[in-house]
């Protein structure tokens, strides 16, 4: 086999791999136009199913802090998926994202791109995959903003 054929084969496999990976990233988030009432029902359904208080809250200085009242993980099985639900009031857009936690540990930059598309900045939240695995499944953050936007993050 010549060097040219080997390089072409590697290039072809690389392009196909990146295309599959890109499609998977794009499909990790779903964005839909909806009404505020419909978005509220979606948030209420998730919160009713999960219950409990979020362990990440906004402090008086505006930064997110760990809630001291929440406990570290006590269940035998750690959470395996991160879910994000974002409501943007101005464009009336609801974004849902679900990612396996192993992917967060493995691919930091692509995960940040996926979550940016959903409107979530992990750096602003000071949130890392290891933080998510240290707690039982449940609500991580539930934030309602003054402009009507809302962010709900949870693990399952």
Q: What ranges do the domains of the chain cover?
A: 30-155
Mean pLDDT throughout 21-38?
Answer: 80
Confidence (pLDDT) at 65: 77
Per residue in 38-94, pLDDT tens?
999 999 999 999 888 888 887 777 777 777 655 555 666 778 888 989 999 989 999
Say if residue 119's pLDDT is above 60: yes
3-state secondary structure of 79: coil
pTM metric for this prediction = 0.77
List residues bridging with 145 in a β-sheet: none
Which residues are within 8 A (CB) of 41 and not within 5 positions of it... i.e. 6 or more apart? none
C-beta of residue 97 within 8 angstroms of C-beta of residue 115: yes
Per residue in 121-145, pLDDT tens?
777 777 777 778 777 888 988 988 8
């Amino acid at each position: 086999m010549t060097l040219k054929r080997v390089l072409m084969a590697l290039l072809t496999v690389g392009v196909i791999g990146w295309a599959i990976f890109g499609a998977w990233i794009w499909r990790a988030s779903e964005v839909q136009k909806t009404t505020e009432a419909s978005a509220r029902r979606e948030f209420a359904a998730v919160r009713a199913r999960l219950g409990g208080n979020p362990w990440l809250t906004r402090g008086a200085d505006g930064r997110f802090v760990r809630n001291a009242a929440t406990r570290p993980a006590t269940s035998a099985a750690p959470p395996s998926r991160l879910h994000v639900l974002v409501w943007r009031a101005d464009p009336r857009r609801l974004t849902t994202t679900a990612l396996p936690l192993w992917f967060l540990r493995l691919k930091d930059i692509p995960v940040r791109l996926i979550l940016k598309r959903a409107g979530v900045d992990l750096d602003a939240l000071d949130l890392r995959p290891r933080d998510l695995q240290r707690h039982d499944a449940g609500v991580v953050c539930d934030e309602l903003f003054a402009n009507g936007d809302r962010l709900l993050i949870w693990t399952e």
